[in-house]
Chain A
C-alpha cells in the first residue's frame, strides 16, 4: 500500500464577509502517492477551493491538513512556501506564463527559488521541455505558441520543481479536444512514472477516464468512484 501523501480531516473553508460563504464544508480525505484523481463539479461548487487548500495556496479555516505527515496549520508563511515549492506543482487553466519570457525562461523561473545557478536552471528547463515534447520551442514566446503548447510549457514548469503532487486546475479548459487529449495523455504518462496528479475539471468525459473521481457539490466532497 502506497503512503498517504495528503490528508484532510474535517477541513473546511469559510470565507468571512457580510454573509459568510462555506466554500468547503468539513471534509475528510486522503490522497495516496501515485494516485490520479479527478475533482469534478459545477463552476462555484468548491473544487478550486479544495485544490487551493491541497496545494497550500490557501489554508483551511477549520480542521486539519497534513502533507506527508506535516501538519500545515501551524506552519509559518516561510515554511509553507518551502513546503509548497518542494511538494507541489501547479498547472492552471489560464497557463499563467509570463508573456515577455521565452518558454525556456518561463520553465526555469521557479528554479531560481531553489538556489540553483542559471546554467543549471537552463539545462533543467531544457530537459523538462524535452520531456513534454517542446524541445524545439525553447525560444518561443508564449504568444508564438498554441494553446496546447502553452499548457505543456506550464506542465514543464511544474515538473522542474520535482513535485510529488501535480495539481491541475481545469488544465484543458482553454483547449480544443485534440490539444486537451494531448495534455491529458502527458499527465497520464507523468502519473505512470509515479507522480501524484489531481485534476479539477467539469469535463465529465475526461473524469470518466480516470481511476478515482471526487465529486464536489456546494462545498461537500463525495467519493464518486
Chain B
C-alpha cells in the first residue's frame, strides 16, 4: 500500500511543507483516553473539585430545604395576625373603639377583628374573691385584660368550662369575666357551676367561664378577661388600646397597609401597625443568609480543588515530560500540547463536577430526610454545578498547559 501524502496547507509560510495540525475531535479523544489510563490519578485529582462542588450543591440544597422548612413552620396563625395600636393615646376623638373595628371589618381580607387593652395594675387593681378595702391583704395581683367579643374570636379564645361573653353582654355593660385556668386556680375557684363572683378594684364581676389560653402567644390573657362594656365600671388607667385583626391567608401585608386609613382616615399616621414578616421575605432572608455563609465555605473548598488539580496536573506534566517531548518530535506544536493538557484538566474537572453534584444531591436528600425537611434543589444548581467543575478544571489546567507547551523536545528526549 502506498502511503498517501498528507494534506498540505496553501496558507503555510513554508511552501511545500504540510502544516502541523490536529483534529479537535482527536485531541478530545486523546485527552479522555489519557485521563482514563490513570484512574487512580484521575480520581485523586478530581476529588478536590468533587468535594468543592458537593459542598456547594449540598449547601444550596440545605439552604433551600431549610428555608422551606422555616417558612413552613411560620404558622398560619402568626402569618395572618395584624395589630394596630394608638401612637397618641388619650387623644380625642377616640378612634380605637368599636367604630374603628367595624371600619376594619369592611376591608376585604379581614376575617375577624376586635379591641383589646390591659388595665394597669397596682394596689388599687386587686382581684379578690370577696370585697376587701382598697389595699387590703386578701386581694391578688392578676393581669386584667379588656377584650371585646370580637377580640376573643380573633385570638381564638375558647373555654374549658362555662361560656364566652358575647356582644349582647358587652353592649349591656354586663359585669362578667372569664378567668384563665391559672387565675381560677390562684383565686381558689374550682368550678363555675354556682356562678362565683370576683372583685376587681372593688367592682363585682360574675365569672362565666374558664378560658383556654395559649400563654405562649397571648401572655396578656393569663389573668382575667372582661368585656369593654363591663370594664367601664373599673376606675384606673389602661394601656393604649389595640385593635387586633385576623386576616385571610396572604392578606396580612395588604391589611397592614390599608388598616390605618380605615381606623383614622384623617390621620392614618396616628396608627402604629405591626404585621408579620412576609413569608416570602422570610424564606428569602433565611435562604440568602444560609446560602451566603455556606457558599463562602464552598468557595474556599473550590479554591482548594483548583489548587489540587493544578498541583497534580503540574506533577503529571513533569512525569510525562518524555511523552510530551516525543509528541513534539513527532510534529505536535506547542499549542497542540497545551490544548491536550488543558482538555485533560477540563475532563478531570468535569468528572469532579459530576461526581460532586451527585454527592451533593445525595447529601441534600439524606440531611433533609434526617431533619424531616422536604428536599429542595433548583434545576439551575444541578446544571450549573458540573459547569463549575469544568471551569475549575480549565482554570487549574492553564498554568500546567502553558508549562507543558514550553517543554523542548530535545530536553525531554535527552532527560
User: Which residues of A have CB within 8 Å of B73?
Assistant: none
Tell whether, in the assembled complex, residue B330 and residue A85 are in contact, meaning their CB atoms are under 8 Å apart. yes
For A82, the chain B residues whose CB sits under 8 A away are 12, 14, 17-20, 331, 333
Residue B383 at the chain A interface, CB threshold 8 Å: no
Across the interface, name the chain A residue whose C-beta is closest to B8: A86
Nearest CB of A to B10, in Å: 14
A124 touches B14 (CB 8 A): no
> Is the Cβ of B3 less than 8 Å from the Cβ of A98?
no
Q: Does B22 contact A (CB under 8 A)?
A: yes
Q: How far is the CB of A128 from chain B (nearest CB, A)?
A: 8
Minimum CB–CB distance from A120 to chain B (whole Å) comes to 8
Closest residue on chain A to residue B3 by CB atoms: A162
Question: B286 contacts the other chain (Cβ, under 8 Å)?
Answer: no
Chain B residues with CB under 8 A of A52: 410
Docked complex Cα distance between A110 and B332 (Å): 8
A202 at the interface (CB under 8 A from B): no
Which residues does chain A contribute within 8 Å of B13, judged by CB atoms?
76, 79
A160–B22 CA distance with the chains assembled, in angstroms: 16
A111-143 with Cβ < 8 A to chain B: 112-118, 123-124, 127-128
A-contacting 9-mer, from B119-127, B300-308, B320-328 = B320-328
Nearest-neighbor residue (CB-CB) of A127 within chain B: B1
A96 B26 Cβ-Cβ under 8 A? no
How long is the Cα–Cα vector from A127 to B323 in the complex, in angstroms? Answer: 24
Interchain CB contact (< 8 A) of A117 among B23, B323, B327:
B23
Bound: A82/B409 CA distance, A: 13
The answer, yes or no, to whether A151 is at the interface (CB within 8 Å) is no
8 Å CB interface, B6-48 against A: 6-7, 12-14, 17-23, 26, 29-30, 37
- The interface size of chain A toward B, counting residues with CB under 8 Å, comes to 38
Chain B nearest Cβ from A86, distance in angstroms:
5
CB distance from B3 to the nearest CB of A (A): 5
User: Is the Cβ of B18 less than 8 Å from the Cβ of A86?
Assistant: yes
Q: Which of B3, B18, B30, B326 lies in contact with A96, CB distance below 8 A?
A: B326
Given contacts A82-B14, A96-B326, is CB(A160)–CB(B3) below 8 Å? yes
Partner of B23 from A86, A92, A115 at Cβ < 8 Å? A115
Contact A57 B329 (CB under 8 A): yes
Bound together, the chains give a CA A169 to CA B403 distance in angstroms of: 27
- Among residues of B, the one whose C-beta sits closest to the C-beta of A117 is B23
Are A114 and B14 in contact, CB atoms less than 8 angstroms apart?
no
Asked if A161 lies at the interface with its beta carbon under 8 angstroms from chain B, I say yes
B330 and A78 contacting across the interface, CB-CB below 8 Å: no
Counting CB contacts under 8 A, is A6 at the interface? no
Are B14 and A83 within 8 A (Cβ)? yes
Per-residue interface assignment for chain A, residues 61 to 79, with 1 indicating a CB less than 8 Å from any chain B CB and 0 otherwise: 0000000001000011111
Q: Provide the residues of chain B in CB contact with A87, threshold 8 Å.
A: 17
Contact A112 B329 (CB under 8 A): no
- What is the minimal beta-carbon distance from A49 to any residue of chain B, in angstroms? 10
Say how far B177's CB is from chain A's closest CB, in angstroms: 92
- Contact yes or no, A118 B26, CB < 8 A: yes
B23 contacts across to A, CB distance below 8 A: 112, 115, 117
The one of B3, B7, B328, B413 in contact with A81, judged by C-beta atoms closer than 8 angstroms, is B328
Given known contacts A82-B12, A92-B413, A114 and B331 CB-to-CB distance under 8 angstroms: yes
B334 at the binding interface (Cβ < 8 Å): yes
Query: For residue A86, which residues in chain B have a CB less than 8 angstroms away from its CB?
Result: 17-18
Cα-based distance from A156 to B19 in the complex (angstroms) = 22
Interface status of B336 (Cβ within 8 A of chain A): yes
Query: A156-198 interface mask toward B, CB cutoff 8 Å, 1 = contact, 0 = none?
Result: 0100111000000000000000000000000000000000000
- Is A36 at the interface (CB under 8 A from chain B)? no
User: With a CB–CB cut-off of 8 A, which chain A residues contact B333?
Assistant: 77-78, 81-82, 113
Instruction: Tell me if A109 counts as interface (CB < 8 A to partner B).
Output: yes
Interface flag for A100 (CB, 8 Å): yes
Does B5 reach chain A (CB closer than 8 Å)?
yes
Q: Give the nearest-CB partner of B6 in chain A.
A: A114
Asked, given contacts A81-B20, A162-B3, whether A113 binds B413 with beta carbons under 8 Å apart, the answer is: no
Residues of A within 8 A of B408 (CB): 57
Partner of B413, one of A57, A76, A161: A57
A58 within 8 A of B: yes
The minimal Cβ–Cβ distance linking B19 to chain A, given in whole angstroms, is: 5
Q: Is the CB of B409 within 8 A of A57?
A: yes
Query: Which of B21, B322, B331 contacts A84 (CB under 8 A)?
Result: B331
**Would you give the shortest CB distance from A142 to chain B, in whole angstroms?**
13
Q: Smallest CB-CB separation from A89: which chain B residue?
A: B330
Q: Which residues of A contact B326 (CB under 8 A)?
A: 96, 98, 109
A161 B1 Cβ-Cβ under 8 A: no
B329–A90 CB distance below 8 A: yes
Considering the complex, which residues of chain B in the window 283-328 have a beta carbon less than 8 Å from any beta carbon of chain A?
322-323, 326-328
Q: Are B336 and A113 in contact (CB under 8 A)?
A: yes
Q: How far is the CA of A117 from the CA of B332 in the complex (A)?
A: 15
Per CB-CB distance, the 6 closest pairs between chain A and chain B, nearest first, are A85-B331, A110-B330, A113-B331, A114-B6, A57-B410, A115-B21
Contacts A/B (CB < 8 Å), 6 sampled: A57-B329, A86-B18, A113-B327, A118-B29, A127-B1, A162-B6
Residues of A in contact with B (beta carbons under 8 Å apart)? 52, 57-58, 70, 75-79, 81-87, 90, 92, 96, 98, 100, 109-110, 112-118, 123-124, 127-128, 157, 160-162
Q: Besides A78-B334, A110-B331, A114-B6, 4 other CB < 8 A contacts?
A: A75-B14, A77-B333, A78-B333, A113-B331
